A and B are shown apart, each in its own frame.
Chain A
Amino acid sequence: MKRVRVTPAGINLVFTGEEADLLASVAEQLSELLDGYEDRDGDPALERLLPDGYRENADDAEEFRRFTQTELVGEKVAGARGIADALKPRTAKGMASVTLGHPEAVVWLRSLNDIRLALAARLGIVDEGSPPPLDDNGYAIYIWLGQVQFLLLRAVDR
């Protein structure tokens, strides 16, 4: 990320064109993944994004899921699409410059976290003792997303 700045209009994030394409692409992938939530079939990324609300009672967990899941998925999909859409316009130099008010910045933080959760599940990062992922490229994206989230959080929480 080129820059994070707090301005009177909100938090301004500037990405290179390449970074913006990458972030938009993973955000779109997240929304596509979530669109298929009804056929989750044990998919670890969906399991982690939409976990059980009850640990010990499968019936309660199922009922909680039935009452909340559609809305939860809707929120997460809207967040991811919001990121992808915001990154489309480019400056004359080919950069993406996005200014976020507080509520939008919070949606971005949540959605960046969702992307990291999904990517971590794909990379096999499941607990503190997980071995380093074999997919170097995927792992680099995961680390980079963590940095973007950290910088944005620092700007939000000041």
Chain B
Amino acid sequence: MADTLERTDEDTDLRTVVEPDRPWITLVWNDPVNEMTYVAWVFKSYFGFSPAEARKRMLQVHNDGKAVVATGSREEMERHVYAMHGYGLWATLQKDDE
């Protein structure tokens, strides 16, 4: 990326268009301690989800073992993961597989 930005060769202008980076995602994983009502409340109060959306993602964590709760840049996802750890939720970030 840095290399691409430093190029000054006019000829390469059109060919150096960088494919957009795959986005990063924040995942929350199931654990046996956090109560369902608490997890839904964290999603609602921190991410601003509606009560129905918060409940849907909480149930996804509970039933599927994990749920994606945010998508975006790596820096943003690191901030979300940090915030989730503050609430005691088990969260990680990774590049989107899809």
Contact = CB atoms under 8 A, between A and B. Distances in A.
Nearest to B80: A53
Interface stretch (A2-10, A80-88, A89-97, A149-157): A149-157
* Interface bracket on B: 20 to 34
Interface of B: 30-35, 37-38, 41, 44-45, 78, 81-82, 85-88, 90-94
Interface residues of A, number: 33
Contact of B38 (A51, A75, A149): A149
Nearest to B51: A157
Given A51-B92, A109-B41, A146-B35, 20 more contacts: A49-B88, A50-B85, A53-B78, A53-B82, A53-B91, A53-B92, A55-B92, A64-B81, A68-B85, A72-B85, A110-B88, A113-B34, A116-B33, A117-B88, A127-B32, A150-B37, A153-B38, A156-B41, A157-B44, A157-B45
Interface of B (DSSP majority class): mixed
Top 7 A-B pairs, shortest CB-CB distance: A113-B88, A120-B33, A55-B92, A53-B81, A128-B32, A68-B82, A157-B41
